A and B are shown apart, each in its own frame.
Chain A
């Protein structure tokens, strides 16, 4: 080892540490690693008695290693180990044709279509209600309590009623699920947009008045653009709630397809790994939806002259 290599070694280490990629991802990687370790420990502890019981029933001798291995590869563990969940998720996504009933892609698409329709309906309803509330004090006083009440009733109690009532008038499949999803997602949009539509500065409102603008002009030229940041904030909340609404709507109805159906089937048959992989699918879906809304938000903000 020459003196020069000795000299450069600390420098090289410092360069590795300050690399932008490392700096950016190191905190995230660390936290994920810690979580995975905690998860493994949890899996071992929770599944221990189950596995031990299995060995003892068969009266087979077992070593500690076998016991540990068993806790991470049980078929129906209380808490599946991370690699089991990831394995089942990857298998569910890539292991089957996208239209196969065992494919997670298939179930995700079923839930996604209900989510998107419900989100669109909810956004529309939310904005219309906000407009009505902003333009009429009477409507504000008569509508607002009902809007708030609507969110106090647990959706799990309401969903079967919705399905039965809508089924009685011949609506089945996608639409009832979307309606439940819309029922949940309109709320943050109404609240956000009421705030947004009333956010213009009093001076800006006075200006519109000095130009004797009509209330429709005030809406299109001032209230609506002022509300855009609020719109995106509430859309982000609403789209995840739409997804939850769609999944919840699949639970009490014995739906045959969808992420909710996978959760339900998994819990019927004690297929915990299946439940967890369906949950991962829901999380992936939710992040994707939020990413799309955030992207739209950035694009719109750029067009509206936001500081970059």
Chain B
């Protein structure tokens, strides 16, 4: 089960080069979050899930959101996806309001769990959004085949979700999110429930997918190595109230491999993320 890559640019000069990758293309702002606050009314009183969050994400970036639980990273992703309305502030996605973007099917969303429909075969699961969006049956079939191939699951069309491992199911859900070719991919701890080996593997595959499709990816995670490995930008968040405490650029080459985790540059960024997390964390519990 290997690569779904464009030819890997691994040659002798690559080693000589620094691992830093400078983005030359500047693309328009894909996501613009401006002064967003969100307060939940709970039984224990008001909880400020997000407080005055400002964030701009350019097209083609891979942005990770990292922070302890309760820091609002998932909430922020849900606000961008128009699954939750902010109490104040505004969100623009591809130049539209979040709601317009959702109605226009501008993004694919991957949840913590695969959330496949158990009564549908893998192929039928992939076709579901396409059915809803009115693609023709032939187009549905072609796209299902193409995106199953993209996540290396060709041959599993007729299987049902329970016949696949957790990692395979999550790959199906990623393929499903990509199947209608949205500009934006929102991922909420997609690999959180998987073991580390599968996770490493899927991280590599996701990176290749990103390099290949040039989507803008917003990725929520708990894991520092995962964030540093995948991202072009890391947003560090902290709880009570949920806010952004640091934004770290992380421009490794797009065709990075897991080995970069051993390099000093990687360590340095990971260290900065860790410091940011520690600073923002309140130990009053």
Contact = CB atoms under 8 A, between A and B. Distances in A.
Interface in B85-131: 102-105, 107-109, 111-113, 115, 117-121, 128-129, 131
Nearest to A213: B132
29 contacts: A203-B111, A204-B115, A206-B83, A207-B109, A207-B111, A208-B132, A209-B102, A210-B83, A210-B102, A210-B107, A210-B108, A210-B109, A211-B105, A211-B129, A211-B132, A211-B180, A212-B102, A212-B103, A212-B104, A213-B132, A217-B132, A221-B117, A221-B128, A222-B117, A225-B119, A304-B119, A305-B121, A305-B161, A307-B162
Interface string A175-216: 000000000000000000000000001011011111111000
Given A209-B102, A211-B132, A221-B128, A203 B113 contact: yes
B55 to A, nearest CB: 20
Interface range on chain B: under 10, 10 to 19, 20 to 34, or 35 or more? 20 to 34
Contacts of B104: 212
Contact of B117 (A204, A206, A209, A307): A204
B133 A211 contact: yes
Contacts, number: 52
A90 B108 CA distance: 66
Contacts of A228: 119
Contacts of A210: 81, 83, 102, 107-109
Closest 6 CB pairs of A and B: A305-B160, A304-B119, A203-B115, A210-B109, A211-B129, A212-B103
Interface SS, B side: loop
A223 to B, nearest CB: 11
Interface string A203-245: 1101111111100010001100100100000000000000000
Contacts of A203: 111-113, 115
A304 B125 CA distance: 12
Nearest to A204: B115
Interface residues of A, number: 19
Contacts of A221: 117, 128, 131-132
Given A212-B105, A305-B120, A207 B115 contact: yes
Contacts of B180: 211
A211 B89 CA distance: 24
Nearest to B81: A210
Contacts of A208: 132
A201 B119 contact: no
Nearest to A304: B119
